[in-house]
Amino acid sequence: MSPGGSSALPRSVDVAKLAGVSQKTVSRVFNDEPYVSADVRRRVLEAADQLGYRLNNAARALASGRTRSIGVVALGTALYGPASLLIGIERAARDTGYALRVVSTVEGDPTGVAGAISSLLDQGVDGIVISEPIDDGPVPVKIDVPVLVLGAPPSFSGPRVINTSVHAYDMARIATEHLLDLGHATVHHVAGPQRWFASKDRLDGWRAALQARNAAEPPVFEGDWSPDSGHAAGRQLARTPGVTAIFAANDDMAIGVIRALTESGLRVPEDVSVVGFDDVPVAAYVTPPLTTVRQPFDAVAREGLALLVHAIEKPAEVVPAAVGQPVDLVVRASTAPPPA
């Protein structure tokens, strides 16, 4: 073996030499630029293949000033909603040709979202997605790339911020109306943590539905998305007279609520109806099968990413508004008319 022999990775000059063209031509081929003859293109590709050449992304980023990657601020949780959304973002990003850098906000980290954004900016990204945002106070970071906020009301604003909503508000409203339509006098709500915009949205939707029907607004229970917190709320609700309908802000809490009701001797849906939110895979297989709301994570991610890429690639143009995505109420067996 010659010293340093075959270990060094080939560079575009090596490909150029082998193909008998200039280095610039290799660059043209790898960037799909026009004005390269079919013959030259083929020769370059062949040489590259033979050498095992890969474009050096760092050099490309340095020279062009663009990283071709998007940063995601995710939540460090395996909750069905956030996890599904992250997958949708990954898929959508790949389709647009952007790579993904992911940072999670840590529970209890004082720097929160701002720290995550700062870290992404350090890494170098052309745009940022804030997925399932939580209200973390102001974000004191100078952000010089477009930001997409997925699923939040426009409270998170700025010069280059794009907001899309997952229509959680409408969905919560529809879920609540479903219960009202069945004849329930009012609907109790087990909310998520109020720092999450998703929780606020659902709370507001629930409230709006009650107000539109002049239904009394009972006190809200605030859970933490866990079945455990749903269970705790359910135990209290079971002791509260007149509770016939409950809307939980996610399926896990709904399942906890149902268990607590059942343990207290109440039947679901004969005595109390329960609606969840998310349509987790097991929702159809718990007892009773859960009426819930299905969110179009993939479509939301795809629409949002398209807008973000637009903002990245055409900074001068105005970003079109998000259309929003339709949602489904999935009626199963956990809801029924109130007891006579």
Partner DNA sequence: GTGAAAGCGCTAACAC
Partner DNA sequence: GTGTTAGCGCTTTCAC
Binding site for DNA (CB under 7 A): 9, 11-13, 21-25, 27-28, 30-31, 35-37, 39-40, 53, 55-56, 59-60, 62-65
User: Ramachandran region of residue 291, left (φ > 0), alpha (ψ -120 to 50) or beta?
Assistant: beta
Whole-angstrom Cα distance, residue 117 to residue 105? 9
CB of 34 to its own copies, least distance (A): 22
Q: Which does 111 bind (CB under 5 to 8 A by kind): its own copies, DNA, none?
A: none
Q: Of 194, 206, 224, 214, whose CA–CA distance to 169 is shortest? A: 206
**Which residue, 24 or 94, has its beta carbon nearer to DNA?**
24
Q: Of 330, 279, 300, whose CA–CA distance to 87 is shortest? A: 300
Cβ(10)–Cβ(25) under 8 Å? Answer: no
Q: How many CB atoms lie within 10 A of CB 339?
A: 11
Give the type of residue at 92. Answer: A
Figure out which of the listed residues 43, 188, 202, 231 binds its own copies, where binding follows CB under 8 A: 231
Whole-angstrom Cα distance, residue 249 to residue 203? 8
Residues in Cβ contact with 152 at an 8 Å cutoff, skipping those fewer than 6 apart: 130, 133, 163, 165, 197, 198
CB of 216 to its own copies, least distance (A): 29
User: Which residue is listed with tokens 């340095």?
Assistant: 62
Figure out which of the listed residues 14, 23, 111, 124 binds its own copies, where binding follows CB under 8 A: 124
Cβ(181)–Cβ(193) under 8 Å? Answer: no
CB of 65 to DNA, least distance (A): 7
84 near its own copies, judged by CB under 8 A: yes
Figure out which of the listed residues 23, 36, 41, 77 binds its own copies, where binding follows CB under 8 A: 77
**Which residue, 87 or 323, has its beta carbon nearer to its own copies?**
87
**Which residue, 61 or 220, has its beta carbon nearer to DNA?**
61
Whole-angstrom Cα distance, residue 131 to residue 304? 10
**Which residue, 12 or 84, has its beta carbon nearer to DNA?**
12
**Which residue, 80 or 247, has its beta carbon nearer to its own copies?**
80
Phi and psi at 119, nearest 5°, equal -65, -40
Whole-angstrom Cα distance, residue 25 to residue 48? 12
What torsion do the CA atoms of 189, 193, 195, 199 make, to the nearest 10 degrees?
A: -40
Binders of its own copies in range 272-331 (CB under 8 A): 281-282, 284-287
Figure out which of the listed residues 132, 201, 252, 303 binds its own copies, where binding follows CB under 8 A: 252
13 near its own copies, judged by CB under 8 A: no
User: Are β-strands 292-294 and 328-330 bridged in parallel, bridged antiparallel, or unpaired?
Assistant: antiparallel
**Which residue, 91 or 294, has its beta carbon nearer to its own copies?**
91
**Which residue, 22 or 123, has its beta carbon nearer to DNA?**
22
Figure out which of the listed residues 21, 148, 161, 255 binds its own copies, where binding follows CB under 8 A: 255
Note the residues at the interface with its own copies (CB under 8 A): 9, 52, 54-59, 61-62, 67, 69, 74, 76-78, 80, 83-84, 87, 90-91, 94, 99-104, 106, 119, 121-124, 142, 144, 226-228, 230-231, 252, 255-256, 258-259, 262, 281-282, 284-287
